[in-house]
Amino acid sequence: MPRKATLSIELLTAAVCLYLSWHAISWALQPGLAMILDEISNLPRFLTGLTWRGVNILPHFAYNDRPVGFMLERCWFEIFAFDYRPQLLCFLAIHLANLLVGFFLMRRMGASALATLAALCAFATLNTTAQTVTYLGAIFDVLCLFLMLSSTLAFLSKKRATVLLSALLFFLALRTKEFAIVLPVLLLAIAYYEKTLRRLWMHLSIWAVFLVQYALLIRRMIPTIPAGNPYTIHADPRTILTSFLYFTSLIFHEEAHPRRAAAILLLVVAMAAYALYRRRAWILWNLAAYALTLLPVAIIPGNRAQFYVYAPAMFLLFAAALTVEDIIGLLVANPRTRWITVAAATAAVLLSVALFQKGPYFKNRIAFILFQRSTAQRTASDLSTLLPRLAPDSQLLVYQGGNVPWLLYPGPCDYLNLPLRRQAYNCILTGSHEDARQQYAAQKPPKYYLVYDADGSLRLEDGGP
């Protein structure tokens, strides 16, 4: 096929991929949506404003010591306050950067442009991806993946200065989220295969220091974790296998179907066996990246969230695209016919992505997120009216019934304290009428009793419950 025709089809495919990727997240930019949950609870790390206090080179805690992500999110808050849309646009820019760096990295692995676009389009339109990149609280996962991809791409460059850049990006990734600790293993495989082990000494030095530090912190943390804590570590084979089964099926939206989930995991194993048999190093590398980035959360079975698979999903889909393209190359000898076959497979992926976005699985989950954010916005609107009647340094008792106050839950009431840069309001959330009466009676004035309803509305009841 002529080069111009090939390039035209690739550009058209890229345009379709961009449209489908944008369509998967555009719902989050509609007006009338508010910040919720971790998007708010991450901010009090710098309650009095963005400073270097508490920012350490080495972690001081085994979990959630992530100054790079915390500082970036607080920086956005300093500029935009609680305005969700402009912060989301900044966040989506990092996601777009992941797609771009992922494109260059996969091309460096030898994949065709069409196969790369198909993998990235599938990744960008997954329900887990859509939920992750529209939730500011997942900044750690999205930013850490960008730093890891960029560090890998810089390491693959033959220029001398890029080694230093790669090591610096690796360090920043470590201070963004803990799963970056697996990156030197992946870079070691590249260095061994390309006979460039000497280029890795800075990464390995940083890695050794952080490994020792995390080992000491985890050793201290384990005895202090109370029974029933969702972050309890269970590093046994059965827990890990169960977690991999769940998270892998979650990527492909089959977590509710155990048999299909098992079949998907078996396909991943078959992919690894195929790559071993064919000696396809990059397929194995991507499968290793998928497994290693998933491993840190696989040993914490009590806490499972959709944004945990953001990074692993990209590597798994890269492996799948490379495998399919390799099989096509094995079965089809003619270059032109091979290209047409890859194009047809890419078209099938784009069609399935478009149909998935119109299906109930995607729509139902997006509808729930929109409900959370729109009810939070209703609460914010009511609070703006009520605040003149609520004296600072007072006690707020909020009766929530069986509803979740998405805006007030963080802290609780970080939403009220953050603009004042101090702990001005103390809040108690309760779902029991009896508990509400007892708690309210026990508090000293000034105190206020508020009732939260399912639609997010908030009203003040003078005189208490």
CB 57 within 8 A of CB 174: no
Q: What are the backbone dihedrals phi and psi of residue 399, each rounded to the nearest 5 degrees, phi first? A: -85, 115
Number of other CB atoms surrounding residue 207 within 10 Å = 23
Report the chain's mean pLDDT, rounded to a whole number. 93
Name the band, by pLDDT with cuts 50, 70 and 90, for residue 1: low
pLDDT value at residue 124:
96
pLDDT value at residue 149:
98
For 128-149, how does the pLDDT look when each residue is reduced to its tens digit (9 = 90+)?
999 999 999 999 999 999 999 9
**pTM of the entire predicted model:** 0.95
Q: Can you tell me the distance from the alpha carbon of 112 to that of 118, in angstroms, rounded to the nearest whole number? A: 10
CB 77 within 8 A of CB 50: no
For 141-177, how does the pLDDT look when each residue is reduced to its tens digit (9 = 90+)?
999 999 999 999 999 998 888 999 999 999 999 999 9
**460 DSSP β-pair partners:** 450
Q: Is residue 395 helix, strand or coil? A: strand
Q: Measured in whole angstroms, how far is the alpha carbon of residue 137 from the centre of its chain?
A: 8
Q: What are the backbone dihedrals phi and psi of residue 252, each rounded to the nearest 5 degrees, phi first? A: -100, 15
Pairing state between β 425-430 and 394-399: parallel
Identify the CA nearest to 185 among candidates 289, 75, 267, 334.
Answer: 289
Q: Can you tell me the distance from the alpha carbon of 429 to that of 459, in angstroms, rounded to the nearest whole number? A: 14
Q: Is residue 402 helix, strand or coil? A: coil
More confident residue, 42 or 302: 42
Q: Can you tell me the distance from the alpha carbon of 129 to that of 367, in angstroms, rounded to the nearest whole number? A: 15
Q: Can you tell me the distance from the alpha carbon of 149 to that of 143, in angstroms, rounded to the nearest whole number? A: 10
Q: Can you tell me the distance from the alpha carbon of 42 to that of 252, in angstroms, rounded to the nearest whole number? A: 29
DSSP 8-class letter at 444: P
pLDDT value at residue 15:
95
**Mean pLDDT, range 339-364, rounded to an integer:** 94
Domains of the chain, residue spans: 3-225+310-358, 377-460
**Mean pLDDT, range 387-403, rounded to an integer:** 91
Q: Can you tell me the distance from the alpha carbon of 208 to that of 58, in angstroms, rounded to the nearest whole number? A: 12
Identify the CA nearest to 311 among candidates 335, 288, 343.
Answer: 288
Residue 317 above 70 pLDDT?
A: yes
Residue 320 above 90 pLDDT?
A: yes
CB 126 within 8 A of CB 119: no
For 221-276, how does the pLDDT look when each residue is reduced to its tens digit (9 = 90+)?
888 888 777 888 888 899 999 999 999 999 999 988 888 889 999 999 999 999 99
Residue 465 above 90 pLDDT?
A: no
Q: Can you tell me the distance from the alpha carbon of 123 to that of 464, in angstroms, rounded to the nearest whole number? A: 51
Q: Can you tell me the distance from the alpha carbon of 19 to that of 24, in angstroms, rounded to the nearest whole number? A: 9
Tokens (6 digits) for 254: 């089959």
pLDDT value at residue 2:
65
**Mean pLDDT, range 63-90, rounded to an integer:** 95
pLDDT value at residue 293:
97
Out of 1-5, 45-49, 330-334, the most confident range is 330-334
Q: Can you tell me the distance from the alpha carbon of 444 to that of 87, in angstroms, rounded to the nearest whole number? A: 39
For 271-291, how does the pLDDT look when each residue is reduced to its tens digit (9 = 90+)?
999 999 999 999 999 999 999
- Residue-wise DSSP of 43-79: GGGGTT-S-STT--SS-SSSSS--HHHHHHHHHHHHH
Q: Can you tell me the distance from the alpha carbon of 343 to that of 147, in angstroms, rounded to the nearest whole number? A: 31
Tokens (6 digits) for 377: 């916005």
Q: Give strand ranges (E) for 323-435.
A: 394-399, 425-430
Vertex 165, ends 162 and 168: CA angle to 5°?
155
Q: Is residue 447 helix, strand or coil? A: strand
Q: Is residue 313 helix, strand or coil? A: helix
More confident residue, 234 or 416: 416
**Mean pLDDT, range 80-97, rounded to an integer:** 97
Entry field: residues in the chain: 465
Q: Can you tell me the distance from the alpha carbon of 183 to that of 177, in angstroms, rounded to the nearest whole number? A: 12
Q: Can you tell me the distance from the alpha carbon of 419 to that of 253, in angstroms, rounded to the nearest whole number? A: 39
Residues contacting residue 30 through CB under 8 Å, at least 6 positions apart: 370
Tell whether omega for the bond before 412 is within 30 degrees of 0, i.e. cis: yes
